[in-house]
Amino acid sequence: VKVTVLGAGAWGTALARLLSDGKNDVTLWGHNAAHLEDLLKNGRNDRYLPGIALPPEMKLETDLLKSVTDAEYVVVAVPSKGFRTVTKSLAGFSGTAISVTKGLEHETGLTMCGILTQNAPAARYAALSGPSLALEMALFHRPTFRVYTSNDLTGVELGGALKNVIAIAAGVCDGLGFGDNSKAALVTRGLAEIRRLGVACGAQPDTFPGLSGLGALMVTCFSRLSRNRGFGERLGRGEKTEAILATSVSIAEGYPTAKSAHALARKLKIETPIIDEIYAALYESKHPAKALQDLTARESKAED
Amino acid sequence: VKVTVLGAGAWGTALARLLSDGKNDVTLWGHNAAHLEDLLKNGRNDRYLPGIALPPEMKLETDLLKSVTDAEYVVVAVPSKGFRTVTKSLAGFSGTAISVTKGLEHETGLTMCGILTQNAPAARYAALSGPSLALEMALFHRPTFRVYTSNDLTGVELGGALKNVIAIAAGVCDGLGFGDNSKAALVTRGLAEIRRLGVACGAQPDTFPGLSGLGALMVTCFSRLSRNRGFGERLGRGEKTEAILATSVSIAEGYPTAKSAHALARKLKIETPIIDEIYAALYESKHPAKALQDLTARESKAED
């Protein structure tokens, strides 16, 4: 099968590697020609996936339109910010487009598959989500990559996008030196918050306690390898948002998603205390310790 | 208020310390006189809660009946194995008995409050559960210890008891060197399993994604401080059950609960693959790696 992966970051490279099992004809597209040349020269993606060898038969391509021509499957693994621009290349694509990007378009509140319905009207589409860290996926030498299916595309995509905001909050807990008890309580409330907002967007409530919701949420909030948790940890330790962004190799999708989710929740009039406080910490220079304190106060009031 | 805490282990000592806030008159009972003498001499519970100072006004008592006479509240913090024997002392007690013990009585399948209804018929009773590790609780210098209430006693108690079995499985994952993805998937499925068995016992389904269910489950499965996770980790690394039991200071409640939960699930005809495999690993000398492998195979089949 001819498969093209758009995006040569950690996730895209890990998936392209996984798909190169000898049966598929895999092409990896990246927008940065110098970065792709490095991959070709070193046989590794040292920037995003250090130390992991790439299969020699994997093709690299810098021409976007050329990379998707003749592809039967296109896996889109670019940051949410570039998703609309990159997928304009799929205007005439009639195969299957699979989004692995977790985020919400700020201006429209659309999920990534929502953008695909507009940009790739002739394609079939799906979202891939669940407990999966890019680095671990590539390291995990299992004979199979187990995939479960769900018809609740909105639930799967929202669970995947919103978990990253909760993970930033969980990281703030870590950075402030809070214990596991507090963090688990936060993540539990985070799941309820994701579910509330998701259901308001038309998702099925039962999707959220499953693998794509809770499973992914737990990995992101508890793993040391998680980018979003790590972003929050630095924030909790006192680094400024701008400084963290400036020194991050990969974008932590929870950062833009906090803004979009905050706007979406206001529009739909849904209570989202964790998202609100993380939004304030990221975009309104609120002190992270104060944000968590206010969150606790809000919870107490709500429970009274 | 006159409060007596039964059980001078980690949890009992931590709670007695927390209750000694200057307003309560707190007595801590322990069955081991030598252990209580150590507490008195050192002002610390070095065996179960090393390094944490005890309030000087806390009383210590080795006579069980004497300790509960005149008490308005009795907090029961003894292992599930001794719960029935110790609470026989509450036959004439007409105050409030609070169980913090998480387990199931093997012969009857009763929760701890189920035992209280038989042993303390004149008392009011409640269960305390949720994300709370004994060591962290004692370390946590917060002005308040936040308590949320639920009317679903069965759900709170079963969530608390069964999570420890799932935590042993999560620890086995750690001990075998599995990644965070696999562990999060296991814990997600564990929550579904707890809920299935809990609902069959009459619990309300919505209790399980809350703090006493999911919150406690996450702490127990992900914290390095968790005894049950630690038990599983040693098992996964190749130690024998008997050797782990022989060298453990505190009992990992998941060990007896695995046996009781396995019997309960068979009786009620509920599918509990994780509990079954952990039962086999603990009581039938099944190799932990084989147990997890069979679990994965069972899941694949169930999802097909």
Question: pLDDT digits over A65-85, tens only?
Answer: 999 999 999 999 999 989 999
The structure tokens 């920037």 sit at: A47
User: Is a pLDDT exceeding 50 seen at residue A153?
Assistant: yes
User: Is a pLDDT exceeding 50 seen at residue B142?
Assistant: no
Mutation pick from B180, B186, B212, B295 vs chain A, by most beta carbons of A within 10 Å, is: B180
Return the residue of B nearest to A148 by Cα. Answer: B303
Nearest to A191 among B180, B214, B216 (CB): B214
Predicted confidence at residue A36, as pLDDT, reads 92
Q: Which stretches of A20-75 are DSSP H helices?
A: 33-42, 64-68
Taking residue A145's Cβ as centre, other Cβ atoms within 10 Å add up to 12
Predicted confidence at residue B302, as pLDDT, reads 52
Please give the single-letter amino acid code of residue A64.
Answer: L
Predicted confidence at residue A221, as pLDDT, reads 94
Predicted confidence at residue A140, as pLDDT, reads 41
Predicted confidence at residue A128, as pLDDT, reads 82
Q: Which stretches of chain B are DSSP H helices?
A: 10-19, 33-42, 64-68, 80-87, 112-119, 134-139, 153-175, 180-200, 216-222, 227-236, 241-246, 254-268, 273-283, 288-303
Predicted confidence at residue B132, as pLDDT, reads 62
Among A194-208, B99-113, B187-201, B226-240, the least confident range:
B99-113
Q: Is A127:A153 a contact under the CB 8 Å cutoff?
A: yes
Predicted confidence at residue A141, as pLDDT, reads 38
Percentage of residues in chain B having pLDDT higher than 70: 92
Q: Is B175:B237 a contact under the CB 8 Å cutoff?
A: yes
Quick: pLDDT tens for B263-287. Answer: 999 999 999 999 999 999 999 999 9
Q: How far is CA B66 from CA B60, B69, B71, B83, in A?
A: 11, 5, 10, 18
Cα gap A101→A254, rounded to integer Å: 12
Predicted confidence at residue A148, as pLDDT, reads 64
CA dihedral sign of residues B117, B119, B123, B128: negative
Q: With an 8 Å Cβ cutoff, are A209 and B187 in contact?
A: no
> Shortest Cα distance from B31 to chain A (angstroms)?
29
Quick: pLDDT tens for A270-289. Answer: 999 999 999 999 999 999 99
User: Is a pLDDT exceeding 90 seen at residue B66?
Assistant: yes
Q: Based on the number of CB atoms within 10 Å of its own CB, is B105 exposed (0-12), middle (13-18) or buried (19 or more)?
A: middle
Task: Report residue A303's pLDDT band, with 50, 70 and 90 as the boundaries.
Answer: very low
Predicted confidence at residue A274, as pLDDT, reads 97
Using only C-alpha atoms, chain A has a radius of gyration, in whole angstroms, of 19
If you average pLDDT over residues A155-178, what whole number do you get? Answer: 94
Instruction: Report angle CA A76, A115, A244 to the nearest 5 degrees.
Output: 65
Quick: pLDDT tens for B173-216. Answer: 999 999 888 899 999 999 999 999 999 999 999 999 888 889 88
Quick: pLDDT tens for B117-133. Answer: 999 999 998 888 766 66
If you average pLDDT over residues B243-251, what whole number do you get? Answer: 88
User: Is a pLDDT exceeding 70 seen at residue B301?
Assistant: no
Among A125-134, B32-41, B161-170, the least confident range:
A125-134
Q: Which of the 8 DSSP states describes residue B139?
A: H
Cα gap A112→A291, rounded to integer Å: 29
Q: Which of residues 141-170 of A touch B (CB under 8 A)?
A: 146, 148
Give chain A's mean pLDDT: 89
Give chain B's mean pLDDT: 89
pTM of the predicted model as reported, rounded to 2 decimal places: 0.78
User: Is a pLDDT exceeding 80 seen at residue A134?
Assistant: no
Return the residue of B nearest to A304 by Cα. Answer: B148
Give the count of Cβ contacts less than 8 A between chain A and B.
92
Predicted confidence at residue B272, as pLDDT, reads 96
Chain B hits for A184, CB-CB cut-off 8 Å, are: 131, 215-216, 218-219, 222
**Residue A73 β-bridge partners:** A3, A96
Q: With an 8 Å Cβ cutoff, are B303 and A132 in contact?
A: no
Cα gap A101→A116, rounded to integer Å: 12
Residues of A carrying an active site annotation = 163
Q: With an 8 Å Cβ cutoff, are A180 and B146 in contact?
A: no
The structure tokens 């008891």 sit at: B161
User: Is a pLDDT exceeding 80 seen at residue B170?
Assistant: yes
**Residue A131 β-bridge partners:** none
If you average pLDDT over residues B23-35, what whole number do you get? Answer: 93
Chain B hits for A148, CB-CB cut-off 8 Å, are: 303
Q: Is A79:A164 a contact under the CB 8 Å cutoff?
A: no
- B218 lies within 8 A of chain A by CB: yes
Predicted confidence at residue B140, as pLDDT, reads 42
If you average pLDDT over residues B147-162, what whole number do you get? Answer: 84
Task: Report residue B50's pLDDT band, with 50, 70 and 90 as the boundaries.
Answer: confident
Residues of B carrying an active site annotation = 163
User: Is a pLDDT exceeding 60 seen at residue A299?
Assistant: yes
Cα gap B222→B166, rounded to integer Å: 11
Q: With an 8 Å Cβ cutoff, are B133 and A180 in contact?
A: yes
Counting Cα atoms < 13 Å in the Cβ hemisphere of A203 gives: 27
Quick: pLDDT tens for A102-126. Answer: 889 988 888 999 999 999 999 998 8
Predicted confidence at residue A137, as pLDDT, reads 54
B40: three-class secondary structure by DSSP:
helix
Q: How far is CA B3 from CA A21, A144, B147, B153, in A?
A: 65, 56, 17, 22
Cα gap A260→A275, rounded to integer Å: 10
Predicted confidence at residue B143, as pLDDT, reads 46
Least Cα distance to B124 among B90, B80, B160 occurs for B90
